[in-house]
Structure 1
Amino acid sequence: MYGILLFLSICALTTDDLLGYPRDTLVQIEITDDSEKLLRRIANDTWGYFRDIVDKETGLPLDHIKLSPETKIDGYTSPTNIGLYIVSIISAYDLGFIEKKEAVSKIRSILQTVEGMEKFNGWLYNWYELRPLKRTTDFISSLDCGWLIMGFIIARQVFPEISDLCTAIIDQHNFSFFYDDSVGHMRHGYDTKNKEYSPYHYGLLCTESRMLSLVAIGKGDVPREHYFRIYRVLPGEDMRRKMRSYMGIDVFEGYYTYKDIKIVPSWGGSLFEFLMPALFVNEKEFAKRSIGTNDSLAVIVHIDYCLNEKGYPVWGMSPCCAPDYSYQEYGVSMIGEKKNGYPDGIITPYATFLALDFLPNEAIKNIINLLSYHIYGEYGFY
């Protein structure tokens, strides 16, 4: 998902410093009626990035590489990269791509490296250069640390033999550090140089920060009521509304309407915001009548908007690499709270894979259509 982005920086790493490197920029794969076989092939190819684009010395993944028009390796990583790399290792083991011994060995290496990284009161900074291993920022991101801890929580559940090591890191992180009780929201982060919190909060339920809230509540770091203090829609909106009380908290249950679909909005209308937390919490099953239904509706809106309203041949918009190699957000503005919303016009393949659990038939059809546009490489979709 974050493999082929361009950050303007100078890197000390070369291909010899990595565990592997792709030989081919573009790859054609057989399209088969056996959807499971097709998805496993794509999963295995995608795992190749996390198998190879890892620093031999630290055992940590690179944020991205660039293959065209020239090779560029930017040797940086972040807490999010590390956390999702751990999840990728576990997924590779679960799918049978690697043996348990290899998976545990890789995560042990990560644990050892993370233990020795420069921190602020136990918190990883938001960006690190890999050679030499040093931080490049004074900022600590609550959300990025949330992805990191989510990775270690899952590793602890899957591999009991490293549970104590994972627990030691998990317990170092008390997310009450970021909690603003005056509004009941999580702050974006903390600037260690200026010794001040970010002035911004994660105040909407239907964004990727929902995962951060669930981790913080699950660990017991913030009160359970926090979940109901997060806005479903921003207050003061002139729309249909209903107030309900949960755990003593009055919740404003508003929604937006796209055609005849009633949907609780995200910030910018991207599938990433709606669906990313569902990779880790089975919202489709645990919240069938609430957030799980809303997740499905977001996919339906994206399909209709892209195919019918815009006339695109494929669908699925989320933050991704733009044509100029910058990182930008894309979405359906009509289901986003942000003024003017995220722009449209760019489709990113990973958004379809986030939607697989909600509308599998439509997602598989879209994947097959995407394959016809020559955007598939040795490590899967760009």
Structure 2
Amino acid sequence: MRRLIAIAIATLLAATVSVAQAAGPRDRLVGDDAILSDYAADTWHSFVKLVEPRTGLPADNIGGDLHPRSRSAYTSPTNIGMYLWATLAARDIGLVTEKEARERIGRTLDSVERLERHEASGQFYNWYHPTTRELLTTWPEPPGHPVYPFLSSVDNGWLAAALIMVSNAVPEHRDQAWQLATSMDFSCYYDPDAKGPDAGAGLLRGGFWVEGGAPPDSDGYPRGDYCGMAEDVVYTGHHYGAFNTEPRVASYIGIALDQIPAEHYFAGWRTFPDTCDWNWQGAQPVGEWRTYLGIDVFEGTYRYSDKLVVPTWGGSMFEAMMVPLVVPEIEWGPDSWAVTHPLYVEAQIEFGLEEAGYGYWGFSPASDPAGGYREYGVDALGLDPDGYAADAEGLTLVDTGWDDPDCPREPAPIDEYGEGVVTPHAAFLALEVAPDATLANLANLADDFPDLYGRGGFKDAVNVATGQIADRYLALDQGMVIAAVANHMLDGGLRDYLSESLEPSLRPLMEMEQFGATRTTPNDDMRGAR
């Protein structure tokens, strides 16, 4: 029998998993919290092994054996941010003492202060060596390939979010963490004319390179200094236009620090409009125009089964559900995020269990069990016309067509499903809105694929058709796992550390918006979402 009850999975983990760290309050936990506490403890153990002890900087990934020799020789601002909030989560759950957490965070902050960064903007580059703290200009694995130092808006957003959390959660490091966060100028990514001079608000660029340090294929990319820097930079050729994607964390930070205008919140596309000019997008949207702060917003949605949801770019879980780990979007957006997030999660569940029939769900960018890293998602939930496939063979791309006589597009339904690739972190992201479904899914994965769960918790991904495992742990994905567990066990307590700094600026914006997301037919079966 594939479905395990809570006692069965707890027994399984107790017998096969070495749960690290202390007992204390965890001894008194029962039921779901006991299971989640074990998940958290093992996930934290992976962070202990990911981190370079001398510098306090986490590697990007480590092998499934957790041996130090398998640590990657590179890290990023996002990875550092994940370790900082993982340490807060471990402290609050009771896996480490306040003293140990304080010392770990202090060591990391001291290293962050020593990292080379772009002086004019205060932004951090994308890749550093976790042992030497050096900015990478040559890729270490395999060596020899050049690295063109890049300043990423989304990666810096995650680091700034974690620094603000530390400033609110650890009094001894308040000033140091706050100074680091507020010295990062996110206005350097903001392009006020990205949607045209009459749009009323602009978008964030993906990032920039310093002039002279850009890759050879960047010759046609825009150059400028519109954020007031004393030097020209080379900007990426794209903006982050889709709203329901993880780069919105950088938007939130920039708005909260008064570096980006509040109107920017309404500039991103919920979907692209339903006109022939936009009929290249993933599906024909349903929605209407509304105006907020003088900005016209198309409150578009995509239809999935009996649900109208605000899509992400690729249809993955972390695009939609990573930000609410640290920002209470569901609480602050009762007519927007509170409606679409549960429906989006339910659509992922329905796809995995019913439409594709994989038997499991949770589709998000992760390690490819066959090697490397890949983007996975539910194509029908993404704006990208090329989509993120949910399986190893790329067979789950669907075209629902476009019903307009002036620009018709014939539907191309899915007629077969291949080898589904599921990543556990994507299931953990659903804890807030579908706890029962999440626990059942994780139990099934641990039961049916014993090699998927190791001393560091769930490994990164599994091909559910072949059983092939991506035998490593990623700091990014482990950070999402432990944050989701901490919020569930502590009633959103980890989220509070960022929300107290963002609430005055962001909550009024979220409260005023009404997405078009809804359920189109009555359905009381939320698969554990209630």
TM-score by length of 1: 0.89
SS of equivalent residue, structure 1 residue 127? coil
Aligned to 1:152: 163
Distance in structure 2 (CA, Å) of the matches to 1:240 and 1:54: 46
Distance in structure 1 (CA, Å) of the matches to 2:44 and 2:453: 14
Gaps of 5+ in 1: 1-25
CA contact (8 A) 1:208 1:272 kept: yes
1:327-346 matches, within 5 Å, as: 327-344=373-390, 345-346=420-421
Distance in structure 2 (CA, Å) of the matches to 1:335 and 1:149: 29
Deviation at 1:370, TM superposition (A): 1.2
Gaps of 5+ in 2: 1-14, 20-28, 137-146, 195-201, 215-232, 391-419, 460-530
User: Which amino acid is 1:145 matched to?
Assistant: N
Aligned to 2:360: 314
1:139 to 150, 174, 194: 150
1:232-311 matches, within 5 Å, as: 232-235=270-273, 236-237=278-279, 238-311=284-357
Aligned to 1:3: none
Deviation at 1:133, TM superposition (A): 2.3
Distance in structure 2 (CA, Å) of the matches to 1:182 and 1:200: 13
CA contact (8 A) 1:55 1:62 kept: yes
Distance in structure 2 (CA, Å) of the matches to 1:27 and 1:289: 44
SS of equivalent residue, structure 2 residue 376? coil
Residues 1:81 and 2:99 aligned together:
no
Aligned to 2:44: 47
User: Which amino acid is 2:381 matched to?
Assistant: I
Aligned to 1:188: 206
C-alpha spacing 1:69/1:168, structure 2 compared with 1 (3 Å): closer
Deviation at 1:362, TM superposition (A): 0.9
SS of equivalent residue, structure 1 residue 42? helix
User: Which amino acid is 1:107 matched to?
Assistant: I
Aligned to 2:126: 126
Distance in structure 2 (CA, Å) of the matches to 1:174 and 1:130: 24
Aligned to 1:227: 265
Q: Which has the larger radius of gyration?
A: 2
Deviation at 1:42, TM superposition (A): 0.5
Sequence identity (%)? 38
1:377 to 454, 458, 477: 454
Aligned to 1:95: 93
Distance in structure 2 (CA, Å) of the matches to 1:322 and 1:69: 18
1:56 to 53, 58, 80: 53
C-alpha spacing 1:37/1:203, structure 2 compared with 1 (3 Å): same
Distance in structure 2 (CA, Å) of the matches to 1:33 and 1:218: 39
Deviation at 1:27, TM superposition (A): 3.9
User: Over residues 4-50 of structure 1, what are the superposed CA-to-partner deviations in whole Å (9 max), with x where a residue is unaligned?
Assistant: xxxxxxxxxxxxxxxxxxxxxx94489x9811100101101100111
Aligned residues: 356
User: Which amino acid is 2:193 matched to?
Assistant: S
Indicate the RMSD between aligned Cα atoms, in angstroms: 1.9
Residues 1:200 and 2:218 aligned together:
no
Residues 1:176 and 2:187 aligned together:
yes
CA contact (8 A) 2:270 2:300 kept: yes
Deviation at 1:53, TM superposition (A): 2.0
C-alpha spacing 1:33/1:112, structure 2 compared with 1 (3 Å): closer
Aligned to 1:355: 430
CA contact (8 A) 1:284 1:358 kept: no
Distance in structure 1 (CA, Å) of the matches to 2:66 and 2:458: 17
Which deviates more from structure 2 when the two are superposed, residues 86-95 or residues 232-241? 232-241
Distance in structure 1 (CA, Å) of the matches to 2:64 and 2:249: 32
